[in-house]
Every structure is written in structure tokens, then in C-alpha cells.
Amino acid sequence: MQGQMDTPLAEVGRIQARLLAERLQGEDWDAIISSDLIRARETAQLIADITGSPFIGVDSRLRERAFGQLEGTTTEDRLLRWGENWRELDLGLESDEALLARWRSFLLDMERDHRGKRILIVSHGGYIAPVLASFLGQPIEEHLKNTSLTVIERVEESWHCRLLNCTSHLVKLEQEQGQSI
């Protein structure tokens, strides 16, 4: 579990980011902004380099959820350390309320500074899922895949989800590797 550990992209992550960037070519993005964690920053920079969209910087409020003592562990580690009920223990997991407070602060600034603009945000699945759930008013049941594309759009005073967890750009890579990524 990575959480807020600041690790670079693995090679497969770079490939996935390039495929996403190729998919986004020709789309009109006014700016790209990312989490300040290296893996998100690398993804955003690859997308900017390929699409020509301006990468305007990073924002720590887009960081992955903090997983406390769970960061850097595998499922096996967690079972050995804390047993089968490890999910029920207080191990320092950032609450949805704290995560959503970060999001609301970020969104207010974005609405003030970039209202009406198409902004591509590069963040993390454990962060994006609760944010989307708050927008949609229901939990996100499916796991958000790395480099999946989700599009939300503001229409008047409400938000609409136009695309959720789309990985059509990864199909060729998945076929080559014979598995879902």
C-alpha cells in the first residue's frame, strides 16, 4: 500500500501514462495540475509533453489518502502484524471527512481561479474515489484503475459525471500482457 509514500512511477506506469496521453491528444485542455507526489507529477508531465497542454504545477491537497501505519505494507504484512481484522483497527487512516476537506479547499480555489476552464487533474485512486462518491452521492463500487479517465463537468451549479474509470486506452497493453492492468 503506497498511500503518501513518494515513489516514482514503475515502467508499466510510464507506459500507461503515455497511452493515456496519446488518448488525450487533440483534446482541448486549458491546464494540467497534479498531486505533489512524484508518481502523479511524472504522469502529469508525460501528459503535458505529449499533448502540449500546459502543466501549471502541483498541489498537495490532491495527494493520495494517508494510510498511516499501513503505508509500505502488503496484504501479507498486514495479516501478520494485525490479523484478519486489521481493517477495523485505528492505524492512522485519513478519514473521508479530512480528505474531502482537502478536496473542497482545492475545488474552491480552482473555481475562483479557473472557472469555465477544462482542467485535467492527476491524482490517486484512494483520493479520487471518495471525492467522486461525494459528487455522485453514492459509493464508487469498482476499483479505480491506474491512469483511468474520469470526466466531471460543471453545468450551472451542479456537477455531472460524464465518464467514469475508463481505461479503453489500456486495452492494447492488457492484450499484450494477457491480463487486466
Domain edges within the chain: 16-64+95-177
Please give the distance of CA 151 from its chain centroid, rounded to a whole number. 12
Please give the distance of CA 114 from its chain centroid, rounded to a whole number. 20
Question: pLDDT over 70 for what percent of the chain?
Answer: 97
Would the pTM count as exceeding 0.85? yes
Q: What mean pLDDT comes out for the span 47-66?
A: 97
Q: How confident is the model at residue 158 (pLDDT cuts 50, 70, 90)?
A: confident
Q: Is 78 annotated as a binding residue?
A: no
User: For 160-179, what is each residue's pLDDT tens digit?
Assistant: 899 999 999 998 777 667 65
Euclidean distance between CA atoms 171 and 77, whole angstroms: 32
pLDDT of residue 133: 93
Q: What mean pLDDT comes out for the span 151-161?
A: 87
Handedness of CA 101, 106, 108, 111 (dihedral sign): negative
pLDDT of residue 173: 72
pLDDT at 96 exceeding the cut of 90: yes
Euclidean distance between CA atoms 149 and 17, whole angstroms: 11
Q: How confident is the model at residue 26 (pLDDT cuts 50, 70, 90)?
A: confident
CATH topology of domain 16-64+95-177: Rossmann fold (3.40.50)
pLDDT of residue 181: 55
User: What value does the mean pLDDT of the chain take?
Assistant: 92
pLDDT of residue 166: 94
Euclidean distance between CA atoms 100 and 93, whole angstroms: 14
Q: What mean pLDDT comes out for the span 60-79?
A: 95
E strands in 52-167: 55-58, 119-122, 149-155, 158-166
